[in-house]
Amino acid sequence: MPRPITAVIHRQSLQHNLNVARTKMPNSQVYAVVKANAYGHGIERVYQAFKAADGFALLDLAEAKRIRALGWTGPILLLEGIFSEQDLFDCQELGLSFSIHSEYQLEWLARFPLNAQFDVYLKMNSGMNRLGFRPEQYRQVWQQLSNLPQVQRLTHMMHFSDADGERLGRDGIEHQCQLFDAITHDLPGARSVCNSAAILRHADLSSDVIRSGIMLYGSSPDFPAHTVDDWNLQPAMSLRSEIIAVQQLKAGDSVGYGSKFIAETDMRVGIVACGYADGYQRLSKTGTPILVDGQRSHLIGRVSMDMLAVDLTTIPDAGVGSEVVLWGKSSQGAVLSIDEVAAGSGTIGYELMCAVTARVNFVQD
Ligand SMILES: *Cc1c(COP(=O)(O)O)cnc(C)c1O
């Protein structure tokens, strides 16, 4: 029998979450962001649910090819654009849209054979200072692109640095919107500005194409300000395992490497077949929530490579073979949000779902 750890991908939850994005911004085209192998869920595993989207957005040509191989004929957007001049041939052959964020990409495009008809997203750097043209350059680049015969369609694109936070004014989302609008308002073409946080928190924004990522996978982009329940999102991934041993501790006994947890009273401890080599964060603190037989308990001691320990004090019926949910849903439907678990190691749901390792068996329900 294989080791009992399993990542279950819930197709209905993926569908539900996609509908939440649609309902929030009903006049927008919803692109499903499936970079990083669909945030760790597996492109092939999410495709059935997400083919109801209007497009896919991702980073790699290899991932774009996988989507085409599944039969998708609609739009695919390369969020970071092309990485070499050669990539343009793949974009042409596969019918991919791409962003242009830097001068060198513009030069590659201008040199490309004239028979191409690309769908280009011109990216503005509105304050994040990662990718894009500065507002004062933007109109000139837009003009250059408009004049290229290789460009069939141009969409204005921008990415928020603070859509999940409280920064609204001078440096935050309002400022970025104002800049973007001031520069683009009289230019033709569609606009694409919203990520998940903007879709959920600022649904009044105007964005013809929205790029929903994390919300589709059932994690709240602005936890703890809002939980998945607040946003009506369902976990799309459940990391489940089992208790494989039970230890009866006496007061003063310790658990795990470094003896970081010391029992204050006699207590029962379950040893779970899950460790950092499965993608569970090693830096998770004692107290990080865990479900055992659908009931809430918590991690104790240090996470090791293949195992971790859970407090069974309040779950006397639990024992070897009991179901353990590290995040997601129990088989009986109890939910532990990935955001709460991520907080236990000072990270975010995004990182946990992307970090599940290859040795974990993935299944779909
Ligand atoms: C990853 C990404 C998104 C999706 O962001 P979420 O916070 O996961 O919704 C949108 N746009 C760009 C440019 C991205 O890189």
Report whether residue 353 contacts ligand 1, using a CB cutoff of 6 Å: no
Which residue has its alpha carbon closest to ligand 1 atom 1?
Answer: 213
Q: Is 65 a catalytic residue?
A: no
Residue from 125, 67, 123, 56 nearest 94 by CA = 67
- pLDDT for the residue numbered 8: 98
Report whether residue 79 contacts ligand 1, using a CB cutoff of 6 Å: yes
Report whether residue 349 contacts ligand 1, using a CB cutoff of 6 Å: no
> Which CATH superfamily groups domain 237-364?
Lyase, Ornithine Decarboxylase; Chain A, domain 1 (2.40.37.10)
Every domain of the chain with CATH number 2.40.37.10 lies at 237-364
From the candidates 24, 35, 123, 329, give the one annotated as an active-site residue: 35
Q: Is 285 a catalytic residue?
A: no
Question: Which of the following CATH numbers is that of domain 11-217: 1.10.150.20, 3.30.420.40, 3.20.20.10, 3.40.50.300?
Answer: 3.20.20.10
Model confidence pLDDT, tens digit, residues 259-318: 999 999 999 999 999 999 999 999 999 999 999 999 999 999 999 999 999 999 999 999
Every domain of the chain with CATH number 3.20.20.10 lies at 11-217
Tell me, yes or no, if the pTM score tops 0.95.
Answer: yes
Q: Which residues of 132-147 are buried (b: 16+ CB within 10 A; e: fewer)?
A: bbebeebeebbeebee
**Residues whose CB is less than 8 angstroms from the CB of residue 145 and which lie 6 or more positions away in sequence, other chains included:** 100, 106, 109, 120, 122, 151, 154
Task: Give the Cα-Cα-Cα angle 199, 73, 200 (nearest 5 degrees).
Answer: 5
Three-state helix/strand/coil letters over 304-332 = CCCCEEEECCCCCCCCCCCEEEEEEECCC
Cis check: omega of the bond before 235, within 30 degrees of 0: no
CA of 98 to the centre of ligand 1 (A): 14
* Ligand 1 atom nearest to 39, measured from its CA: 8
Model confidence pLDDT, tens digit, residues 170-206: 667 889 999 999 999 999 999 999 999 999 999 999 9
